[in-house]
Chain A
């Protein structure tokens, strides 16, 4: 698979597809799934300033995700 990386390292404005989570079964995994961050879903990174949380757009609404959690979400970049 090309361009597989963690969400934390995705530049702002890019669209990515969710692959899965590192550390399966971690406490945050279920909440992310419930918020719609499902494997295969395409999300857009709205804001990633390298200092604060990563803001993403999933299904038309924005979520802020702390950097710790964002470093455990695996994604792949997709071509526009």
Chain B
């Protein structure tokens, strides 16, 4: 057997899907896009029992309806790409809701294996699940697992390999009440006449009865449309509820019955630490105090530790420079390579990485323990004023590390409108590079109070921009519906993986763009473009009240924000900026650098997620906005 099999991992969010994925593939995933869609899936390869398997990690979803893009994409993947097997990863401690999702998978008529994951949580609650009985009732193999502790995984992989080799598959079967089943049968029969249906007939029939907008729009025959209308009306008359409520209720009653049959109470639940913690973490007053404390703690750790790390890495790299300069090469080429390419890489490693790596490590710990969901809870009301719900706060926090992973992280939002608002706001959040400037310039030469003032002004600006975006971007704001995971002890393997996923966006996406842009800019310097550009920019310099050379550095800041500071030092041959700048100029310079335009990597991320036009408008908008605010500050500071 030489063919490669495809196995898809499906399941609700937060059930440990990525841990299983990672165990299967050894972490060697490649990230790709689905054709025509921007939702990401992770993909990897593995060998199990002598056969080669492509593993596709589908996004975490609760249903195969049309509530979010991720759901549509997942159901299309399963129906149209026909994976050889779908592993449904079930949160064993939340059996009914996960069975509800399983039933929808079953309707897609694919071979399924169930991983009854987080089984330890069931035991903690004092229950046992009869996995043999569950497997018999469903007609699908069931394996108990605790992925984070590596329990049951070997068995799961063995079962997957056996099924692929022998073709002994379990498709499962669900049957609802008589009234519903009769109508599904009637409708399926008529659907048989249709040619180009990419989903199983029974699935289409159910979705039509539920009035699924996408599937309904694919049906053109007026006959079928009127039959559907009649059947829907009959169902609604019998039950006195909307047809989708009827079908979902039926599905849940089957789920409850099965759960009732396989769940056995063994003893009382252990005292729940999570509930006690929530009394503080979600308290209407102490919750916010704790949140503030956590945020301050992160900043303190990141900038203490990051500064230390940055110094070490920087001095290691600078040891290389003399060797490089002795290489046998023409001088301009040497400068192009060193100042362009290598300085770009060094900056990434020595200036940005030491701050974002620890930052994302802490963030991943917060995520794995469940605290990020609490932050979304606490900030929900605030975020609603900006037209988005509490989950939006999470990408905004991510943004303090680097804007690029934050823009990709905006996918936690269900709708495009919300993702756009969050991404635009994220570009205004001071990333680690901008924080370096504020700390290295404003805090050093004007004092920490002014640094805090700049932050406060920036947050105010983000709030105002959010209000405006909410007002002018069309669409209804969505409310929050979020599962609250229990607090749990972090698992380090999982944390490191999450950290790496976030850092990867920086390494693979932001770094190459930074390096290439650096080389281009260095080329322009070598070709002596600086003089004419300075003249061209002089109106802006006057308007902002900055020296012309400082304005030039803003141009470089588009590549990487912290480059402005490095260029200043190069141009003025000093790092004592108090000598060459007035305090007003330092303040204006700091603030303008913070907001004036997203860096190239961020612009590229915007382009990738939202297209050229949005990326262009956001960049231009922020540029003009920063000029106006900078000019206004200049005016005000002159008067007072």
Contacts and interface: CB of A to CB of B under 8 A. Distances in A.
Contacts of B100: 34, 36
A71 to B, nearest CB: 9
B479 A63 contact: no
A32 interface: yes
Interface string B51-77: 000000000001101010000000000
Interface residues of A, number: 31
A69 interface: yes
A35 B62 contact: yes
A78 interface: no
B478 A53 contact: no
Given A33-B248, A52-B377, A28 B484 contact: no
Interface string A13-56: 00000000000110110111111101100000001011111010
Nearest to A51: B284
Contacts of B283: 49
B278 interface: yes
A61 interface: yes
Given A30-B65, A34-B248, A36-B100, A52 B378 contact: yes
B476 A27 contact: yes
A80 B65 CA distance: 36
B211 to A, nearest CB: 9
Interface size class of B (residues with CB under 8 A): 35 or more
B560 interface: no
A74 interface: no
B252 A52 contact: no
A68 B481 CA distance: 11
Contacts of A65: 479-481
Contacts of A35: 62, 97, 481, 483
A63 B94 contact: no
Nearest to B278: A47
A40 B389 CA distance: 28
B380 interface: yes
A55 B282 CA distance: 10
B282 to A, nearest CB: 6
Nearest to A69: B479
A70 B96 CA distance: 22
Contact of B67 (A30, A61, A68): A30
B483 A28 contact: no
B96 A59 contact: yes
A39 B245 CA distance: 8
A64 interface: yes
A64 B284 contact: no
Contacts of B476: 27
B233 to A, nearest CB: 15
B94 A61 contact: yes
Interface in B596-628: none
Contacts of A39: 241, 245, 249
B94 A64 contact: no
B248 A53 contact: no
Contacts of A36: 96-97, 100, 252
A39 B242 CA distance: 11
B252 A38 contact: yes
A47 B62 CA distance: 23
A36 B255 CA distance: 11
B1 interface: no
A61 B483 contact: yes
A2 B397 CA distance: 45
B381 interface: yes
A63 B452 CA distance: 36
Among B63, B244, B373, B482, the most chain A Cβ lie within 10 Å of the Cβ of: B482
Nearest to A50: B284
Given A52-B378, A66-B384, A60 B482 contact: no
B65 to A, nearest CB: 6
A17 B165 CA distance: 49
- In this complex, which of A25, A27, A33 has the most chain B Cβ atoms within 10 angstroms of its Cβ? A33
B529 to A, nearest CB: 52
A63 B244 contact: no
Contact of B94 (A27, A31, A59): A59
Interface string B317-359: 0000000000000000000000000000000000000000000
B481 A24 contact: no
B204 to A, nearest CB: 18
B282 A60 contact: no
B111 interface: no
B390 interface: yes
Contact of B480 (A24, A51, A69): A69
B93 interface: yes
A58 to B, nearest CB: 8
Interface in B237-282: 241-242, 244-245, 248-249, 252, 278, 282
A29 to B, nearest CB: 8
A67 interface: yes
Contacts of B282: 47, 49, 52, 55
Nearest to B373: A64
Interface string B361-403: 0000000000001001110110010000110000000000000
Most chain B beta-carbon neighbours within 10 Å: one of A51, A55, A60, A64: A64
Given A30-B65, A60-B125, 10 more contacts: A28-B479, A31-B67, A34-B248, A36-B100, A59-B94, A60-B94, A65-B481, A66-B480, A66-B481, A67-B381
12 contacts: A30-B63, A30-B65, A30-B244, A55-B484, A61-B94, A61-B483, A62-B483, A62-B484, A63-B484, A64-B483, A65-B479, A66-B480
| 4 A-B pairs with least C-beta separation | A66-B480, A66-B479, A69-B479, A62-B484
Interface of A: 24-25, 27-28, 30-36, 38-39, 47, 49-53, 55, 59-69
